[in-house]
């Protein structure tokens, strides 16, 4: 169920408030463009700045609008285990197909603490995708710990943002071939799949969903020449998107396409002029704008 290109959806705002109608349109657009799944209210969805009610509403809206056409993996991570459990419960109630749960950030638990945290989340009964991003969370779930977690019937995969492609075969050997491995880095998504991954939870796909989906389909079918061709077209955009925080760039790109406002919530602010120019050039190179 979980493979291919899964955009880490931005949360559209208008004058600082949730723009639910635009969110619905974005869901339909992504599906029409060929995205294989949707991931709302992750970090790219500005989850740290959403109230609990807003978070739940975004998940409910995306699930309802998707209407089973593609799977929805709802962001449900927190560094508070009780809050994580509540978010997973809300995602399950809303009808999400899985929850994306990040390793607890800032408080830096031990590996035993990670096992206890993810077990509590998984015991809710909704499939869980571990989000391992040590660069932001300051804690790394080791391959051995992930192998332990993979034994839980509701822990079904990982979004791996370690940047270490050797992790993919190591986790494949330790967790089993059915353990879903999704890249958390756009620029290395092709290599990730070559090593045994099956997809990417993508920031770039907010702006270029069709190209990202086509690249994923090419790798999964073994057509690496086509995958390389598309990756070359997308690489300047991958780089430009992360020149400044990716969610800001994604919203800028969507505004250029006439699909959403640029509005972001503090502590984020809009792109600098230099970053905008780089985004414009990369979008032209990818054929997204004239």
Question: Tokens 């019937």 label which residue?
Answer: 153
Looking at 3, 25, 108, 131, which residue is catalytic?
A: 131
Looking at 3, 159, 233, 251, which residue is catalytic?
A: 159
Based on the residue annotation, tell me whether 14 is a catalytic residue of this protein: no
- The C-alpha atoms of residue 160 and residue 122 are separated, in whole angstroms, by 18
Based on the residue annotation, tell me whether 131 is a catalytic residue of this protein: yes
Is 51 exposed, middle or buried, given 0-12, 13-18 or 19+ CB atoms closer than 10 A? Answer: exposed
Is 209 exposed, middle or buried, given 0-12, 13-18 or 19+ CB atoms closer than 10 A? Answer: buried
In the 8-state DSSP scheme, what is residue 28?
A: H
Name every residue whose Cβ is closer than 8 Å to that of residue 63 and which is 6 or more positions away in sequence: 72, 74, 94, 95, 96
List, as one string, the DSSP characters of 121-141: HHTTSS-EEEEE-HHHHS---
Whether 81 and 117 have beta carbons less than 8 Å apart is answered as yes
Region at 95 (left for phi over 0; alpha for psi -120 to 50; beta for the rest): left
Active-site positions read: 131, 159
């Amino acid at each position: 169920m979980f493979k291919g290109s899964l955009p880490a959806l931005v949360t559209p705002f208008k004058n600082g408030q949730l723009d639910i109608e635009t969110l619905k349109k974005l869901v339909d657009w992504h599906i029409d463009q060929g995205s294989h799944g949707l991931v709302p209210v992750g970090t790219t969805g500005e989850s740290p700045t959403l109230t609990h009610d807003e978070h739940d509403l975004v998940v409910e809206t995306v699930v309802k609008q998707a209407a089973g056409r593609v799977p929805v993996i709802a962001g449900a991570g927190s560094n508070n285990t009780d809050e994580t459990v509540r978010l997973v419960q809300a995602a399950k109630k809303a009808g999400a197909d899985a929850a994306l749960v990040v390793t607890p950030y800032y408080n830096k638990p031990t590996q035993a603490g990670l096992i206890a945290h993810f077990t509590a989340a998984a015991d809710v009964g909704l499939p869980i995708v571990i989000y391992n991003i040590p660069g932001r969370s300051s804690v790394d779930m080791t391959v051995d710990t992930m192998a332990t977690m993979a034994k839980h019937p509701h822990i079904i995969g990982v979004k791996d943002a370690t940047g270490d492609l050797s992790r993919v075969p190591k986790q494949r050997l330790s967790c089993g071939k059915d353990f879903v491995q999704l890249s958390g880095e756009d620029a290395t998504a092709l290599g990730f799949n070559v090593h045994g991954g099956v997809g990417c939870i993508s920031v770039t796909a907010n702006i270029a969903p069709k190209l990202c989906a086509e690249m994923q389909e090419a790798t999964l079918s073994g057509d690496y020449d086509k995958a390389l061709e598309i990756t070359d077209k997308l690489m300047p955009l991958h780089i430009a998107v992360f020149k400044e925080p990716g969610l800001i760039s994604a919203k800028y790109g969507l505004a250029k396409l006439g699909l959403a406002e640029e509005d972001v919530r503090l502590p984020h602010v809009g792109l600098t002029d230099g970053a905008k120019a780089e985004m414009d050039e990369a979008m032209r190179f990818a054929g997204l704008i004239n």
